[in-house]
Structure 1
Amino acid sequence: MSGETGLAQQKPVVISEQRRRETRLVVFILVFLFPILAIAIVGGYGFAVWILQMIFGPPGPPG
């Protein structure tokens, strides 16, 4: 049908641009976001333990 030529020609270009954006997003998440989140979570946990030990003392039996 002659009405589909414009849409059929543009569809592969849109798919390749979307795939390129998704690939960049996955690379950003894997290379930047996950390591930053891991450092923030571990650092936050360590900071919380440090503060709690300053308030309640180190772990172990009271002596």
Structure 2
Amino acid sequence: MTETETHVRKTEEIRSFLFLTVIMVPVLTLMIIAVYGFCVWFYQILIGGPPH
């Protein structure tokens, strides 16, 4: 690999890392929390009733 190819690859890796850590992890975390909240809400509607 030439020096230019190495530099381009390193730039792509940094971009990919930042995309995963800054965008994907928070989005996936919020989606997991939302799905869990929906499951609890749906359970309470169908089976559990209101909390005592």
TM range, smaller chain:
0.7 to 0.9
Gaps of 5+ in 1: 1-9
When Rg is computed on C-alpha atoms for both structures, the one with the higher figure is 1
Q: CA RMSD in A?
A: 1.8
Q: Name the residue aligned to 2:37.
A: 46
CA distance in structure 2 between the aligned counterparts of 1:16 and 1:58, rounded to whole angstroms: 59
Q: Where do 4+ consecutive residues of structure 1 move more than 3 Å?
A: 58-61
Deviation at 1:29, TM superposition (A): 0.5
Code of the aligned partner of 1:55 = L
Q: Name the residue aligned to 1:28.
A: 19
Q: TM-score, normalised on structure 2?
A: 0.87
Gaps of 5+ in 2: none
Q: TM-score, normalised on structure 1?
A: 0.73
Percent of aligned pairs with the same amino acid: 29
How many corresponding residue pairs?
A: 52
CA distance in structure 1 between the aligned counterparts of 2:40 and 2:50, rounded to whole angstroms: 10
